[in-house]
Chains A and B, each alone.
Chain A
Amino acid sequence: MVLPGTRDEVIAVVRALHATATPWVARGAGTGLSGGALAADDSVLVVLTRLSRILHLDPVRRRAVVEPGVVNARLSEAALPHGLAYAPDPSSQSACTLGGNVAENAGGPHCLKYGVTTNHVVELEVLLPDGSLVTLGSPQGEAWGPDLAGLFVGSEGMFGIALQITLRLSPLPPAIQTLLADFVTVRAASEAVGAIIAAGIVPAALEMMDQECIRAVEASIYAAGYPVDAGAVLLVELDGQPVAVAAESAQVEVLLTKAGARGVRSASTPVERARLWQGRKKAFGAMGRIAPDLVVQDAVVPRSALPGVLEQIGEIGRSHGLIVSNVFHAGDGNLHPNISFDHRDRDLAERVHQASREIMAVCVAAGGSITGEHGVGSDKLEYMPLIFDPATLSAMCDVRRVFDPDQRANPRKVVPVHYCREWR
Chain B
Amino acid sequence: MNDSVFMRLRHTFGEMMVERDRDGRPRVIPDSAEGVAELCGLAHANAWRVRVEGQGTWMPADAPADIALATRGLGRIVQIAPADLVATVEAGVPVALLRRELEAAGAWLAIDPPGRPDRTIGSVVATGTAGPLRHGLGPVRDHILGGTIVTGDGRVIKAGGSVVKNVAGYDLTKLQVGGFGAFGVVTQLHLRLRALPAHRVTLTARGDRDLLTHQARALMERGLVASSLELFSPALAAEAEWVLAIQLTGTEAGVEAEVTGAIEGAETAWTRLAPESGAAFWQATARAALDAPLTFRLGVFPDGLDEMLDLLADKLDTGLVSAGPGQGMLRWSGDASVETLRSVRHLAAEREIPLTLERGPWALRNAVGHFGAYREGVGRLVSKLRSTFDPDPTFAVALEGGADD
Q: What residues of chain A have their CB less than 8 Å away from a CB belonging to chain B? A: 60-61, 104-105, 107, 111, 115-116, 118-119, 128, 132-136, 138-148, 150-151, 153-155, 171, 174, 194, 197-202, 240-244, 246-248, 251, 300-305, 329, 332-334, 367-376, 380, 384, 387-389, 391-393, 395-396, 398-400, 402-403, 414-415, 424
B354 in contact with A138 (CB, 8 Å):
yes
Closest partner residue, chain A, to B151 (CB atom): A395
* Contact A332/B165 with A241-B258, A399-B172 known, Cβ cut-off 8 Å: yes
Answer yes or no: B175 CB below 8 A from chain A CBs: yes
B168 in contact with A247 (CB, 8 Å):
no
Q: What residues of chain B have their CB less than 8 Å away from a CB belonging to chain A? A: 81-86, 106, 128, 138-139, 141-142, 151, 155-159, 161-172, 174-175, 177-179, 182-183, 194-198, 223, 225, 250-258, 260-261, 297-303, 328-329, 352-354, 356, 371, 374-378, 381-382, 384-385, 388-389, 391, 399
B329 in contact with A414 (CB, 8 Å):
no
Bound together, the chains give a CA A329 to CA B166 distance in angstroms of 13
* Contact A414/B169 with A115-B142, A140-B328, A148-B382 known, Cβ cut-off 8 Å: yes
B165 in contact with A372 (CB, 8 Å):
yes
8 pairs from A and B in contact (CB 8 Å cutoff)? A140-B354, A200-B195, A241-B225, A244-B254, A247-B253, A372-B166, A380-B168, A392-B159
* Contact A144/B175 with A372-B166, A392-B159 known, Cβ cut-off 8 Å: no
**Chain A residues with CB below 8 A from B356, complex form:** 142
**Chain A residues with CB below 8 A from B371, complex form:** 144-146
Q: Could you say which of A243, A247, A300 contacts B166, with CB atoms under 8 Å apart?
A: A300
Q: A241-B254, A329-B165, A396-B172 are known; give 18 further A-B pairs, CB within 8 A.
A: A118-B174, A138-B352, A140-B300, A142-B299, A142-B354, A145-B354, A146-B399, A147-B175, A150-B171, A150-B177, A174-B223, A247-B257, A302-B163, A371-B168, A373-B165, A391-B155, A395-B172, A414-B169
* Contact A302/B82 with A147-B175, A154-B167, A241-B257 known, Cβ cut-off 8 Å: no
Bound together, the chains give a CA A395 to CA B156 distance in angstroms of 10
Q: How far is the CB of A88 from chain B (nearest CB, A)?
A: 12
Q: How far is the CB of A307 from chain B (nearest CB, A)?
A: 11
A388 in contact with B163 (CB, 8 Å):
no
Q: How far is the CB of A113 from chain B (nearest CB, A)?
A: 11
Bound together, the chains give a CA A413 to CA B167 distance in angstroms of 14
Q: Could you say which of B86, B261, B382, B389 contacts A241, with CB atoms under 8 Å apart?
A: B261
* Contact A198/B381 with A154-B167, A155-B170 known, Cβ cut-off 8 Å: no
**Chain B residues with CB below 8 A from A375, complex form:** 167
Bound together, the chains give a CA A384 to CA B161 distance in angstroms of 12
**Chain B residues with CB below 8 A from A334, complex form:** 165
B171 in contact with A151 (CB, 8 Å):
yes
A198 in contact with B174 (CB, 8 Å):
no
Q: How far is the CB of B30 from chain A (nearest CB, A)?
A: 18
**Chain B residues with CB below 8 A from A388, complex form:** 158, 168-169
**Chain A residues with CB below 8 A from B257, complex form:** 240-244, 247
Q: How far is the CB of A105 from chain B (nearest CB, A)?
A: 5
Q: How far is the CB of A185 from chain B (nearest CB, A)?
A: 19
B164 in contact with A332 (CB, 8 Å):
yes
Interface secondary structure of B, over-half rule: loop
Q: Could you say which of B251, B254, B385 contacts A402, with CB atoms under 8 Å apart?
A: B385
Q: How far is the CB of B369 from chain A (nearest CB, A)?
A: 10
**Chain A residues with CB below 8 A from B399, complex form:** 145-146
Bound together, the chains give a CA A75 to CA B255 distance in angstroms of 31
Closest partner residue, chain A, to B298 (CB atom): A142
Q: How far is the CB of B288 from chain A (nearest CB, A)?
A: 21
A376 in contact with B378 (CB, 8 Å):
no
Bound together, the chains give a CA A392 to CA B131 distance in angstroms of 31
A145 in contact with B198 (CB, 8 Å):
no
Q: How far is the CB of B190 from chain A (nearest CB, A)?
A: 10
Bound together, the chains give a CA A376 to CA B161 distance in angstroms of 14
**Chain B residues with CB below 8 A from A391, complex form:** 155-157
Bound together, the chains give a CA A61 to CA B300 distance in angstroms of 11
**Chain B residues with CB below 8 A from A171, complex form:** 223
Q: Could you say which of A151, A302, A373, A380 contacts B84, with CB atoms under 8 Å apart?
A: A302
**Chain A residues with CB below 8 A from B85, complex form:** 197, 303
A371 in contact with B166 (CB, 8 Å):
yes
Bound together, the chains give a CA A150 to CA B391 distance in angstroms of 22
Q: How far is the CB of B214 from chain A (nearest CB, A)?
A: 14
**Chain A residues with CB below 8 A from B174, complex form:** 118, 147, 150-151
* Contact A392/B354 with A146-B175, A148-B381, A200-B251 known, Cβ cut-off 8 Å: no
Q: How far is the CB of B331 from chain A (nearest CB, A)?
A: 11
Q: How far is the CB of B382 from chain A (nearest CB, A)?
A: 6
B168 in contact with A389 (CB, 8 Å):
no
**Chain B residues with CB below 8 A from A305, complex form:** 84
Closest partner residue, chain B, to A171 (CB atom): B223
- Listed from nearest, the 7 A-B pairs whose CB atoms lie closest are A142-B299, A247-B253, A150-B174, A244-B254, A200-B195, A134-B377, A304-B83
Q: Could you say which of A105, A142, A395 contacts B157, with CB atoms under 8 Å apart?
A: A395
* Contact A145/B195 with A171-B223, A247-B253, A369-B161 known, Cβ cut-off 8 Å: no
Bound together, the chains give a CA A60 to CA B196 distance in angstroms of 32
* Contact A147/B195 with A118-B171, A372-B165 known, Cβ cut-off 8 Å: no
A61 in contact with B165 (CB, 8 Å):
no
B170 in contact with A240 (CB, 8 Å):
no
Bound together, the chains give a CA A400 to CA B172 distance in angstroms of 11
B299 in contact with A141 (CB, 8 Å):
yes
Bound together, the chains give a CA A380 to CA B225 distance in angstroms of 39
Closest partner residue, chain A, to B169 (CB atom): A396
Bound together, the chains give a CA A250 to CA B179 distance in angstroms of 44
B168 in contact with A367 (CB, 8 Å):
no
B167 in contact with A135 (CB, 8 Å):
no
Bound together, the chains give a CA A300 to CA B163 distance in angstroms of 7
A304 in contact with B81 (CB, 8 Å):
yes
**Chain B residues with CB below 8 A from A387, complex form:** 161, 168
Q: How far is the CB of B77 from chain A (nearest CB, A)?
A: 17
Q: Could you say which of B178, B198, B298 contacts A147, with CB atoms under 8 Å apart?
A: B178
Bound together, the chains give a CA A338 to CA B164 distance in angstroms of 21
Closest partner residue, chain A, to B302 (CB atom): A61
Bound together, the chains give a CA A202 to CA B197 distance in angstroms of 11
Q: Could you say which of B81, B179, B225, B299 contacts A146, with CB atoms under 8 Å apart?
A: B179
Bound together, the chains give a CA A13 to CA B253 distance in angstroms of 56
**Chain A residues with CB below 8 A from B182, complex form:** 146
**Chain A residues with CB below 8 A from B255, complex form:** 244
Q: Could you say which of A143, A380, A403, A414 contacts B178, with CB atoms under 8 Å apart?
A: A143
Q: How far is the CB of A372 from chain B (nearest CB, A)?
A: 4
**Chain A residues with CB below 8 A from B170, complex form:** 151, 154-155, 396, 399-400, 414
Bound together, the chains give a CA A241 to CA B354 distance in angstroms of 35
B198 in contact with A148 (CB, 8 Å):
no
